[in-house]
């Protein structure tokens, strides 16, 4: 195809950046990665830093100038972080559009989907089933939350990326109104915009995802469904084991998502999370990622390569649809997290079931043809443990207030 060999630039890091790079390699697309020098992705056999003066993928006042200096005219930018996706949404409206290509939605659409408070208000105007969400700007807003009507309530950031980097958690439980007020006051003083969200009752295995791509013409060129079986840490962690399932299992949720994306004029890669309400059996939408996600390589290996679709769509080429239905019944395991999740469950039968699943599953990071990223994670884990062992037994730990993530683990 014309332009097939144009390079791509992955603007991502960690597991998401690694999965995006590998997905492009699977499609035969040459790629560079914009990430920090010590990132997990740099250990991949396919890693190549962006040439010239370099770029670590940061989005700040100097990003445009760094891009202008890159000797890669025509390269396709593929975001793997929320801030990168938002920054790249403006690229088609500036002078950089002549030098780079990107498959992106209008900025206004991304702002709605990335800001949990705005997304909650938007969902309230639609027929899409969703948990009740309350924007918190003052103590008066907390007083207005109907705690008695809700199963449970947790505090959630409006900006997940910044909150997770600073706090180390995606959310925090609040058992009572008083506890909610105390947590909110502390986080509000740190500058975090927060929301309260109704907890949708159910197990980890009641979570489902619809991952895919919507092209410039509004066509859903690829859809991939998966089910989460286990998560670590509990409640507010990442999927540690998931399995591909037929799209039909998600029923009306597929139509709800299609209508929502059309209404927002969405274009690009997405990953939508749903949870089946244990009370009604209805799938409620929780959030939509507007970029590549943790398990993007798993989708590609099951037949839906959204990174390759983004590459084609950005260049104005027809998006290649999968030749056959996605593989179902395939598993993918983040072994480090899943081992902890299984041990925490404490059920002997579940451990044997998990072991059987691991034997046939894709590994989230480890691959025989690209083993170094997994070895780097193992080595970092061993060094951390060794440092703990070297700490003198008599060394007192400084007394401090528990971190929100620690409080979460103690109350969840």
On the question of pLDDT at 40 being above 90, the answer is yes
CB neighbour burial string for 331-360, b if at least 16 within 10 angstroms, e if fewer: bbbbbbbbbbbbeeeeeeeeeeebeebbee
Quick one: pLDDT at residue 233?
A: 86
**pLDDT interval class at 405 (50, 70, 90):** very low
User: CATH 3.30.470.20 in the chain, residues?
Assistant: 204-363
On the question of pLDDT at 183 being above 80, the answer is yes
User: CATH 3.40.50.20 in the chain, residues?
Assistant: 8-110
Tokens of 151: 């199963």
Quick one: pLDDT at residue 344?
A: 87
Percent of residues, the chain, with pLDDT higher than 70:
93
Tokens of 249: 């299992």
Q: At what angle do helices 335-345 and 348-360 cross, to 10 degrees?
A: 160
On the question of pLDDT at 406 being above 70, the answer is no
In the predicted model, what is the mean pLDDT of residues 293-302?
97
CB 150 within 8 A of CB 132: yes
Interacting residues of 384 by C-beta distance below 8 A, sequence separation 6+:
none
CATH classification number, 8-110, choose in 3.40.630.10, 3.40.50.11810, 3.90.1170.30, 3.40.50.20: 3.40.50.20
- Nearest residue to 250 via CA among 228, 234, 232: 228
pTM beyond cutoff 0.85: yes
| 198-251 pLDDT tens trace | 999 999 999 999 999 999 999 999 999 999 999 998 878 889 999 999 999 999
Residue 266 or residue 151, greater confidence: 266
Residue 252 or residue 180, greater confidence: 252
**pLDDT interval class at 264 (50, 70, 90):** very high
Least confident piece of the model among 167-176, 179-188, 206-215: 167-176
Residue 172 or residue 346, greater confidence: 172
- Degrees, nearest 5: CA angle 235-240-241: 115
Give the whole-angstrom CA distance, residue 46 versus residue 405: 35
| 77-104 pLDDT tens trace | 999 999 999 999 999 888 999 999 999 9
| 344-392 pLDDT tens trace | 887 666 888 899 999 999 999 999 999 999 999 999 888 887 887 876 6
Fold held by 204-363: D-amino Acid Aminotransferase; Chain A, domain 1 (3.30.470)
On the question of pLDDT at 2 being above 60, the answer is no
Instruction: List strand residue ranges (DSSP E) for 153-310, in order.
Output: 153-157, 172-173, 194-198, 207-214, 220-232, 238-245, 268-276, 283-289
Total length of the chain: 412
List the 283-289 sheet strands across, edge first: 283-289, 268-276, 207-214, 220-232, 238-245, 331-333, 362-363
User: CATH 3.30.1490 in the chain, residues?
Assistant: 132-199
Phi and psi at residue 115, to the nearest 5°: -90, 110
Angstrom CA distances, 87 to 14, 80, 384, stand at 19, 12, 35
Quick one: pLDDT at residue 393?
A: 53
Quick one: pLDDT at residue 80?
A: 97
**pLDDT interval class at 155 (50, 70, 90):** confident
Tokens of 319: 């998006």
Fold held by 132-199: Dna Ligase; domain 1 (3.30.1490)
**pLDDT interval class at 13 (50, 70, 90):** very high
CB neighbour burial string for 258-272, b if at least 16 within 10 angstroms, e if fewer: bebbeebebbbbbbb
Percent of residues, the chain, with pLDDT higher than 90:
68
């Amino acid at each position: 195809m014309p332009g097939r060999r144009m390079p791509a630039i992955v603007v991502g890091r960690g597991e998401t950046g690694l999965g995006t790079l590998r997905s492009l390699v699977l499609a035969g697309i040459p790629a560079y990665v914009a990430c920090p020098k010590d990132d997990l992705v740099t250990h991949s056999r396919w890693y190549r830093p962006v040439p010239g003066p370099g770029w670590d993928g940061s989005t700040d006042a100097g990003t445009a100038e760094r891009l202008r200096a890159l000797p890669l005219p025509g390269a396709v930018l593929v975001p793997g972080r929320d801030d990168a996706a938002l920054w790249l949404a403006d690229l088609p409206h500036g002078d950089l559009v002549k030098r780079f290509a990107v498959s992106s939605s209008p900025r206004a659409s991304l702002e709605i989907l990335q800001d949990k408070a705005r997304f909650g208000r938007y969902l309230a105007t639609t027929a899409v089933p969703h948990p009740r969400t309350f924007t918190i700007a003052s103590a008066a807003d907390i007083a207005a939350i109907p705690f008695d009507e809700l199963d449970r309530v947790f505090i959630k950031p409006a900006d997940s990326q910044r909150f997770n980097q600073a706090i180390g958690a995606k959310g925090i439980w609040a058992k009572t109104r008083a506890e909610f007020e105390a947590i909110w006051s502390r986080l509000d003083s740190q500058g975090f915009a927060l929301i309260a969200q109704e907890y949708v009752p159910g197990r980890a295995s009641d979570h489902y995802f619809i991952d895919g791509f919507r092209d410039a013409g509004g066509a859903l060129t690829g859809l991939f469904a998966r089910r989460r079986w286990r998560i670590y840490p509990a409640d507010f962690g990442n999927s540690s084991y998931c399995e591909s399932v037929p799209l039909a299992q998600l029923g009306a949720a597929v139509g709800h998502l299609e209508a929502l994306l059309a209404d927002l004029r969405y274009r690009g890669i997405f990953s939508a999370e749903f949870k089946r309400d244990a009370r009604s059996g209805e799938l409620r939408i929780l959030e939509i990622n507007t970029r590549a996600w943790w398990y993007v390589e798993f989708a590609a290996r099951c037949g839906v390569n959204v990174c390759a679709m983004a590459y084609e769509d950005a260049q104005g080429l027809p998006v290649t649809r999968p030749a056959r239905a996605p593989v179902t019944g395939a598993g993918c395991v983040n072994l480090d997290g899943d081992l902890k999740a299984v041990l925490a469950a404490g059920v002997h039968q579940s451990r044997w079931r998990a072991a059987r699943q691991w034997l046939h599953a894709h590994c989230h990071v480890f691959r025989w043809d690209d083993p170094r990223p997994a070895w780097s994670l193992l080595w970092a884990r061993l060094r951390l443990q060794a440092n703990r062992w070297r700490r003198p037994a008599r060394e007192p730990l400084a007394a401090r207030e528990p971190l929100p993530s620690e409080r979460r683990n103690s109350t969840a």
